[in-house]
Amino acid sequence: MTAIQHSMPVPPGSWLGMVGGGQLGRMFCHAAQSLGYKVAVLDPAAGCPAGGVADRHIQAAYDDPTALELLGSLCAAVSTEFENVPADSLRRLARHCAVSPSGDAVAVVQDRILEKAFITQAGVPVAPYCAVTDRSHIAQAPANLFPGILKAARLGYDGKGQARVTSREAALEAFDAFGGVPCVLEAMLPLADEISVVMARGYDDACVVYTPAHNEHRDGILAVSTVDPAAVQARQSLYAQAAQAARRIAGQLDYRGVLCVEFFILDDGSLVANEIAPRPHNSGHHTINACVSSQFDQQVRVMTGLPLGSAHSHSASVMLNILGDLWFDAAGQTREPDWAGVLRFDHAHLHLYGKAEARKGRKMGHITVTGATLGQAREQAAGVARVLGLAYS
């Protein structure tokens, strides 16, 4: 344990830092401020969502030495809200204050080649894959990787930097279209479901794990997350296996902070890890309204050395993502979605991210619908979806 960690817990009134000013940073600000902390956000964008609610916005590049010096000197602890932050920036900040997660942990997760190898070494199954840094690697790839998905090793998210490929020829075309950057080619597997495990791990090695969320994606972007606490007993073996794998990954990474591990459930009932997110996750947004302590509360608690909160789900929930598409009618004209209609449902919790411009495919907010049972939550979620014109089944 370092001298910086010995100074914990960090008392309320202290400054906390956030590298990244998106919606996850915005929700972190709300959680930190509710516990009495002040937040400084480092982000280059003038109108970023977190910058509008933070106590201070340092508008600079993520690798700006002067800005990093300022943030590190001001704050007792710093975290991040996105995996593509320069790992060296986190390492630089660690000279001044506690940083969670560490730059070394983030460096592994932000490179799919390193990430796949790490998960495998941790003893957690992944889909069959091979690293691709040259066209010859595709030519020599095992036949069981087709049909597959070619994924750029770095900077991909929400389905970006990915291509489904049915043959070597298609994979070569996709590799060339990506500009020949390093990639991972992984086999497409027969999927029954997709789940994500959000967890938090403190400096004292204490861990809490949330009930897994069942996820539905559209065009590579998360659309719906469903959590049913009543189903935990029926899925006890599967959920325990996923939680154990997530804990193992966090331990092997020496990870401190909030972490999400996405898993595929195959048709035969087996579980394989898909990817790791070193931050709070879209599929964990339900924790704000459906759990005792939210994933953002946990992020603050880890950073400040406070005891972790309960991850207990007190309600079933359905989380609906709100994309910028909803601001456009069939003719392409802009309009405001019917928020009053949404809020007529008494268990609908609306969260808008304060983004000034709506664009198709851009995450603008989410709605969490809670209920004493999943059936109640689903019924109101279907009503909300009808009001907004969202696809929901």
Does residue 186 have a known ligand-binding role? yes
Does residue 112 have a known ligand-binding role? yes
Does residue 156 have a known ligand-binding role? yes
Within 8 A by CB and 6+ apart from 44, the residues are 59, 60, 61, 62
Q: Residue 175, Cα to own-chain centre: how many angstroms?
A: 26
Q: Residue 197, Cα to own-chain centre: how many angstroms?
A: 10
Query: What 8-state DSSP symbol labels residue 282?
Result: G
Does residue 187 have a known ligand-binding role? yes
Does residue 199 have a known ligand-binding role? no
- The whole-angstrom separation of Cα 316 and Cα 291 is 9
Instruction: Tell me if 260 sits within 8 A of 197, measured CB to CB.
Output: yes
Within 8 A by CB and 6+ apart from 316, the residues are 227, 228, 229, 230, 290, 370, 371, 372, 373, 374, 376, 377
Instruction: Tell me if 86 sits within 8 A of 111, measured CB to CB.
Output: no
Nearest to 279 by CA among 4, 13, 14, 22: 22
Does residue 69 have a known ligand-binding role? no
Does residue 194 have a known ligand-binding role? yes
Residue 66 to residues 54, 58, 290, Cα–Cα distance (Å): 20, 10, 40
Q: Residue 77, Cα to own-chain centre: how many angstroms?
A: 20
Does residue 90 have a known ligand-binding role? no
3-state secondary structure 333-374: CECCCCHHHHHCCCCEEEEECCCCCCCCCCEEEEEEEEECCH
Instruction: At 50, list the tokens.
Output: 């977190």
> Residue 81 is which amino acid?
E
Nearest to 151 by CA among 169, 168, 129, 122: 129
Instruction: Tell me if 366 sits within 8 A of 221, measured CB to CB.
Output: no
Instruction: At 115, list the tokens.
Output: 């990430």
Instruction: At 257, list the tokens.
Output: 């902070």
**Kind of pairing, strands 191-201 and 257-266?**
antiparallel
Does residue 159 have a known ligand-binding role? yes
Backbone angles phi, psi at 131, to 5 degrees: -80, 140
Does residue 252 have a known ligand-binding role? no
Does residue 189 have a known ligand-binding role? yes
- The whole-angstrom separation of Cα 216 and Cα 10 is 38
Binding site listing for ATP? 112, 151, 156-162, 186-189, 194, 217, 274-275
Binding site listing? 112, 151, 156-162, 186-189, 194, 217, 274-275
